[in-house]
Structure 1
Amino acid sequence: MIVNEEFRQFLESVRFVYGYDFTEYAEASVVRRIRAFMESNKVGSLKDLGIMVLKDETAFEHFIQEITVNVTEMFRDPLFYKSLRKNVVNRLATYPFIKVWIAGCSTGEEVYSLAILFREEGLLDRTVIYATDINQDALQKAKEGICSIQSMKNYTENYLKAGGKNSFSDYYKAKYNSVLWDKSLRQNIVFSVHNLAMDKSFNEFQLILCRNVLIYFNQSLQSKVITLFYESLCPFGFLGLGNKESLLFAEKQRSFEEIDKKEKIFMKVK
């Protein structure tokens, strides 16, 4: 819970007007990002910020884009993807139809990474990947499937470390200073807005990835979101978290079994 009264009142107003709940985000992180937004937009006080964003939806969308975190890259933490290949793919292959949820997908790099992995493992044609985020601007970039060509050297190295089986350049077309991900990777992806702090389960999944998102929530919200994932997973479904995240404070901690302790991959067992 945000204990700074001024910030708490502002965030309560945001929740009341727009339905976006940031009150259970980690306080230091959300306060820092709000202050950075105020400084970059030359807003002198929280009262002025409230007037700015609560009466103007365009200003609020800009606010959301700025304070939500969108740090990502292709095959980020490559050994996580290598572990998926080793410990999860064979079990997913037993399902006739596979549903995956990538929660907090940002600008889509993780989504396309998983699509490439599933293509190489022969699963993509019978998989639907639901990619969600609170940030509509980030989601639009993810839908477009375009990223900077300057990133390709690093992404290629990550791909190879993740156990990539082909030439990484097979999956995109370069044009000017950008690359476009192959259309076949995008055809089984559904992008939509979802607010982990407020929204409910919307399907049953065999695999849920939510990596480097929970670190921005307080313990109470982390537990709430883990329960949401538990309710959204089929029996013996898999959950992947970021390498600094855990189930330690989750109410449903004992309902999961560790598949890979280091890479934070879990299986729902009860």
Structure 2
Amino acid sequence: MTAPIAFVTGASSGFGLATAVRLAEEGYRVIAAARRLDKLETLASRYPDQVLALQLDVADRAMVKRAIAELPADYAEVDVLVNNAGLALGLAPAQGASLDDWQTMIDTNCLGLAAVTHAILPGMVARNRGQIINIGSIAGDYAYPGGNVYGASKAFVHQFSLNLKADLFGTAIRVSCIEPGLAGGSEFSQVRFKGDEGKASGLYQGTTPLTPEDIAGTVAWLTSLPSHVNINVIEMMPVCQAPSALAIHRKS
């Protein structure tokens, strides 16, 4: 039997890298897609003939369409799509935030995820098999100061996932959304604070956050479920985090 094929975006680091590794170890042939080809090639060298490195900027619609249309024949029929590529930029309040940062988050987290899905989904429907796993965030459910467009973009991922499942009613295709909370071991915070290591590391001081391997394990669990089981949404937090009471600012 031919090994199933997984397509993982943002696979050069963090959740995406851990997911690509986990799925390769589970026996998948993995298309590892990201902008940084050198990191992908390092990964592919660890799994020869099993991991295909694909340079891809999900925010570039033409590049997405071309890259997926030109996949090698033995990698073309994607069984599992993991839409992981995404980022947060800044933590300023909306009135002081950068519009360019907002645009980048929308282009990547919303339009990029939609473009990859749009390119791969028709093949899944034609074959009547497949699974889409979108990586959202608890930021899409719980507002916090400075979350503004990042949180809104992850709310899009949540709702888009549910609406995909509604559209795919009557097919065998499954759709899930994983929504992690505080997570370390990736470049997420370094990217958010544009290389400010002090700010990035401060977020995790005194905590035991989720790890990329935790997310990868959850992806692997979803793929292992019987084909008649669909998990709509998984919300994950480390034990040190909780959905707490709404913040109230009190005048002195």
The question of a shared fold, defined as TM-score above 0.5 by the shorter chain, is answered with no
User: TM-score if structure 1 supplies the norm length?
Assistant: 0.27
